[in-house]
Structure 1
């Protein structure tokens, strides 16, 4: 679901108010930074950072919800169905490196710092590109 311009209106207004208040506190030499934050570029940067952060936080939650848990694959879950289909397709076992084994590993141990950084960067970049394409 894409966020409409109307839904972002209050956030943009709050960002504008905050940067205006910051402009009164900071010295005049900081005026360029304040005006950049209030521009559409600043809004896109903020949106990209939020998108990347949400992706990093939501991956473990979503994996747990579909059944890839720290205690193993939950019975009768989507993860169990995926594991069953993978095992049937591979002669009874789930191969190392398969999608199911990777998702279970992440579900059990969480994302590594480097994976979090990569995921956050990719999603932030994608969010900025979508915001640009949508004219936000």
Structure 2
């Protein structure tokens, strides 16, 4: 039950963070994450198919749909990004 509640809360949280139906909101947390991802990836943001967490979050925020099996790969794929950002601080 707790997991279900957490999954249902994910969509509005992502939308509040700036992952919206019209794209990533300027000056938002989402915009900062996108910038960080682009820098870490050498200038581009990884697609969802390539394991991009920012792309997955934008897809969820835009559609309002959380398909966990699709996004698990994106979360795993961006673990390297988190390590890269942490090591460069």
Residue 65 (structure 2) aligns with? 111
TM-score of the pair, normalised by structure 2:
0.64
Total equivalences in the alignment: 66
Aligned to 1:67: 18
Q: Which has the higher helix share?
A: 1
What is the 5 A alignment of 1:38-77? 49=1, 51-77=2-28
Aligned counterparts of 2:33 and 2:9: Cα–Cα separation in 1: 20
Equivalent position of 2:82 in the other structure: none
Instruction: Provide the TM-score with structure 1 as the length reference.
Output: 0.43
Structure 1 residue 110, shift from structure 2 partner: 2.3
Gaps of 5+ in 2: 70-89
Q: Deviations over 1:25-84 (max 9, x none)?
A: xxxxxxxxxxxxxxxxxxxxxxxx3x2342232111100111111111011011100000
Q: Which runs of 4+ in 1 moved over 6 A?
A: none
